[in-house]
Amino acid sequence: MAEKYNIALAGNPNCGKTTLFNELTGSNGYVGNWPGVTVEKKMATWKKDHDVTFVDLPGIYSLSPYSPEEVVSRDYVVNERPDAVIDLLDVTNIERNLYLTTQLLEAGRPVVVGLNMCDLLKQHGETIDVKELSHMLGVPVVEVSALRNHNLDKLVREAERAAKEGTPAKPLECFSPEVEEALAKIAKGIEGQCKPELVRWYAVKVFERDVDAIKPLGLTAEEVKAFEPTIEAVERDRDDDAESIITGDRYDFIAKVMDRAVKKSVGALSTSEKIDRVVTNRILGLPIFIAVMCLVYYIAIGTVGTAATDWVNDNLFSDGFFVSSASQQQYESDEEAWSDANYDDMISGYIAAAADKGVDTDGVQDAIDADEQTSETQATIEKFEAAAKKADVVATDVPVTDGDGNFVDTDGNIITKLDSDGNPVLASGQKLETLSTVTEADFEDALDHPEPDQHDYGNFVDSIPTAATNALTAAGASDVVISLVVDGIIGGVGSVLGFIPQIFVLFILLCFLEDCGYMSRVAFVMDRVFRRFGLSGKSFIPMIVSSGCGVPGVLSTKTIENEHDRRMTAMLTTMIPCSAKLPIIALVMGVLVGSDNGAWWVAPMFYFMGVVAIIVSAVMLKKTKPFQGEPVPFVMELPDYHLPSVKSWMLHVWERVSAYVKKAGTIIFAAAVGIWVLSNFGIAGWDGGNGSFGFLQSMDGAPDTYMDYSILAGVGGALSFIFAPLGFGNWQATASTISALIAKENLVSTFGVLYGLGSATENSVSMWQGFANMFTIGGVLHVGAMCGFVAFNMLCAPCFAAMGTIRKQMDDPKWFWFAIGYECGFGWVVGLLINQFYELAVFGNFGFWTVVAFALLALMLFQLFRPMPKWDKKDDKILDSLSEEAA
């Protein structure tokens, strides 16, 4: 039976360790360019030999307990005892990486060193003497390239051999004579308290006074105190503290290794250094980042991404599509000719004129639009024609519409403003195009020319809603089942899935920026900005991660050592628009602002709104006792720029997109069904309903506004007063906002259910009108209410999954509820300010909530610009003790 081995993968952040893990195991672990992405150890077997299991430890700089990641790695290596350790070094930063190596060699396990990115080192004109390095470290050293899958088998075989032999690495005698003498005395004092191969490790930890690390020894206070004279003697001799002495001696040894084993070139700057002189420039760095993000969102929202999303929405979830281009061209030609003849406008205009003369028009339009004409529909049409002829009906000034049913002016431009009845509201200077007259003969001629049917042209595929409706109808399904499947599930989930192309393009671009090394520079640039407002660049790292999903973003706050800063960052990081919020921006804002993708700039605008909201919140919170203190230092190595491997890049993209799809298939699915039930069941109060509870659509005499009688309308209406000052105090907007707390995508899927968006195209004003009705005052679109609505949903509490992560990170119910309350309160205030000031500036409205808005703005400005309070040191100690107790 083959032996099984557990091999730990250790290394600094950005050394390529997780890329190595993915290559060896075929896993899709996340590859990042900052510390803290891998916050827990991951395990997977070698794809070439399942008896070998790799454990991907968090990226760390040392085994000292400065962060949770270092504690996880130290405990696994020292206490759980893997069979071997592969220490992966980034050779472009080898001096910094060797510090961890000197500690791993003391941890009592077999060690093999992998030199990664040697190809980049050669580009710098530098070389490493592998034999000399192996001799000085006392362990095997292998040159590899995790990115290009070079020499990885050799590295693993060396680790297998080391694991099979089981011989622990020999600790380096890398300290000065006086330190070595002190360590020898300590080692003699702890012999028998631990395994022989760990005596050196624990001797160093006793010397460093690392209380947590030496707990397994079980030393009494008196035994620990007995070592103090030895340690203090070295401290007096070196005039430094014990921990700093150990650190200094390690780097002195590393300097000797560098002199003997590494030959560095002296001369021109590398390509990465030349680029960094521009992108990390004190003046140009931030504008370049803004320009890059605008370009990313423009491509994803304004061009490639939107074109793909339009195709999905228009074809898969709306009209269907042709497989053959020839059939499509023929259909479009016939459709254009039919539209140009205005037959549809003639029919609707003639029916409307007949209604004005008292002719019974019930069911006429439905009979004309029926897919198949029956004796019943024919009888309805003939009865209407006879009555209209008797009344001598002639229609005049019939408005003309385009192929999507939108009203157009004399220049053919779409009229985007409609009144509450759906009639066009003309802007100044516009004239609605009309037909002169429509007679009985014109009406009959129009009936003889029905709209071309795609199915008659062959090679046509129905949209998902249409296909589902036809299949369910053929199977004899009830109206309730058809509505649930088509309006609830497909309409809700489809509204979210339709944005996958945009999200896919966005993540392709963002993941490329992360994997090539640019986002590391952004964290460095933003550290300058954030430090002025009480945060460090470490706080920006979770925000970058949160642009994909708030859950890993909140988890990555573990790397922030300062408890105050960690809690503040966990509380604020979800204000950055994540992938779940992108459909809200892309659909809600894009549809409301106008056609032709004229609103591409809205996405980056709301992205930077999130950044500004975080900065403003950080400044205000830093001036309160619970969050006082200087930001933690931000130290980070900048990896060389490189083209990421297509495999790791696509795995990175797939992880984010798949998380979005999984959420759509689980949480969004359940929520869409729930929203459908709440919006389609209720107590009917119209004639025929008799106040009974049931499925509203199937009740006799149900009006078009049947949802106004639903359970959802009742709940939304009861809570709508909360959002009335923000400009969207109707039940539809309130219900959508509440559903977004489950998952942000629910906001769009709720719209899909409430307004039946599955059958409308993005170029249809009927879709825009569905949204615009929630933000319309006196027939005019209320931009302030619209922006207040989006701002609140961008900044308020995140989805349930992210809330749960915040709860875990806070580790205290009071802190958790404070975080959720602050996010919702801050989002509400921002929405209030936007709406109230817009109403004052545009409509001249001034009232109670305007006064409240000015008062809140004054309070925010006071907190922003008042001097930083000087807290009593006694208060600092109290707060620190409370934080320690909570931790």
Higher pLDDT, 429 or 245: 245
Query: To which residue do tokens 């993941």 refer?
Result: 511
**pLDDT-derived band at 828, boundaries 50, 70, 90:** very high
Q: What's the confidence (pLDDT) of residue 822?
A: 92
Q: For residue 267, give the 3-state DSSP assignment.
A: coil
Residue 397 neighbours by CB distance under 10 Å: 12
Quick one: DSSP state of residue 757? G
H helices of 208-361, where?
Answer: 221-226, 228-238, 242-261, 271-279, 285-297, 304-311, 325-340, 343-356
Return all residues near 841 (Cβ < 8 A) that are at least 6 apart: none
Cα gap 37→22, rounded to integer Å: 15
Q: What's the confidence (pLDDT) of residue 749?
A: 59
Its sign, for the CA torsion 851, 857, 860, 865, is negative
Cα gap 157→403, rounded to integer Å: 67
Tokens of 136: 């000085």
Q: Which of 196-200, 598-602, 634-638, 757-761 has the lowest mean pLDDT?
A: 757-761
Phi, psi for 448 (deg, rounded to 5): -75, -10
pLDDT tens track for 391-436: 999 998 888 887 666 777 777 777 766 665 566 777 656 677 888 8
Q: What's the confidence (pLDDT) of residue 877?
A: 41
* 693-712 b/e (C-beta count within 10 Å ≥ 16 → b): eebbeebeebeeebbbbbbb
Task: Say if residue 443's pLDDT is above 70.
Answer: yes
Task: Say if residue 598's pLDDT is above 50.
Answer: no
pTM above 0.75, yes or no: no
Task: Say if residue 832's pLDDT is above 90.
Answer: yes
Cα gap 55→44, rounded to integer Å: 7
Return all residues near 552 (Cβ < 8 A) that are at least 6 apart: 30, 37, 545, 546
Higher pLDDT, 71 or 447: 447
Cα gap 766→205, rounded to integer Å: 71
The CA-atom distances, in angstroms, between 366 and each of 64, 378, 701, 766 are 76, 11, 17, 19
Helix or strand run (H / E) with residue 90? strand 84-90
Helix or strand run (H / E) with residue 454? none
Cα gap 643→650, rounded to integer Å: 13
Return all residues near 419 (Cβ < 8 A) that are at least 6 apart: 425, 779
Tokens of 338: 């039919």
Higher pLDDT, 125 or 654: 654
**Average pLDDT of the chain?**
78
Tokens of 746: 């629910």
Tokens of 101: 């190596």
Q: For residue 341, give the 3-state DSSP assignment.
A: coil
Tokens of 488: 């609830």
Nearest to 755 by CA among 737, 776, 777, 733: 733
Task: Say if residue 28's pLDDT is above 70.
Answer: no
Q: What's the confidence (pLDDT) of residue 717?
A: 82
Task: Say if residue 703's pLDDT is above 60.
Answer: no
Q: What's the confidence (pLDDT) of residue 878?
A: 35
Cα gap 684→689, rounded to integer Å: 5
C-alpha angle 118/120/126, rounded to 5°? Answer: 75
Q: What's the confidence (pLDDT) of residue 34?
A: 35
Task: Say if residue 238's pLDDT is above 50.
Answer: yes
CB 576 within 8 A of CB 610: yes
CB 566 within 8 A of CB 558: yes
Q: What's the confidence (pLDDT) of residue 876?
A: 44
Cα gap 634→53, rounded to integer Å: 34
As a whole number of Å, the CA-based R_g of the chain is: 34
The CA-atom distances, in angstroms, between 168 and each of 18, 100, 108, 165, 481 are 24, 16, 5, 9, 67
Q: Which of 21-25, 405-409, 748-752 has the lowest mean pLDDT?
A: 748-752
- Residue length, the chain? 887
**pLDDT-derived band at 600, boundaries 50, 70, 90:** low
Cα gap 689→710, rounded to integer Å: 13
Cα gap 337→821, rounded to integer Å: 58
Q: For residue 781, give the 3-state DSSP assignment.
A: strand
Residues facing 418 on adjacent strands: 424
Task: Say if residue 323's pLDDT is above 60.
Answer: yes
Nearest to 109 by CA among 134, 76, 71: 76
CB half-sphere exposure, 781, CA atoms < 13 A: 18
The full set of domains in the chain, from first to last, is 1-267 (3.40.50.300), 325-457 (no CATH), 502-880 (no CATH)
Q: What's the confidence (pLDDT) of residue 614?
A: 84
**pLDDT-derived band at 851, boundaries 50, 70, 90:** very high
pLDDT tens track for 335-389: 888 888 888 889 988 998 999 889 999 888 888 888 778 888 899 999 999 999 9
pLDDT tens track for 489-500: 887 677 667 767
Tokens of 796: 């308020």
Cα gap 517→641, rounded to integer Å: 5
Higher pLDDT, 630 or 293: 293
Cα gap 55→45, rounded to integer Å: 9
The CA-atom distances, in angstroms, between 680 and each of 22, 307, 432, 509, 718 are 48, 33, 37, 41, 18
- Between β-strands 84-90 and 776-777, what pairing exists: parallel, antiparallel or unpaired? unpaired
The CA-atom distances, in angstroms, between 454 and each of 84, 317, 338 are 66, 16, 13
Its sign, for the CA torsion 359, 363, 368, 373, is negative
CB half-sphere exposure, 735, CA atoms < 13 A: 29
Cα gap 285→402, rounded to integer Å: 48
CB 395 within 8 A of CB 446: no
Q: Which amino acid appears at position 512 of this protein?
A: F
Nearest to 589 by CA among 762, 706, 835: 762
CB 463 within 8 A of CB 316: yes
Cα gap 515→31, rounded to integer Å: 7
Cα gap 835→729, rounded to integer Å: 12
Nearest to 810 by CA among 460, 572, 527, 487: 572
Phi, psi for 594 (deg, rounded to 5): 150, -175
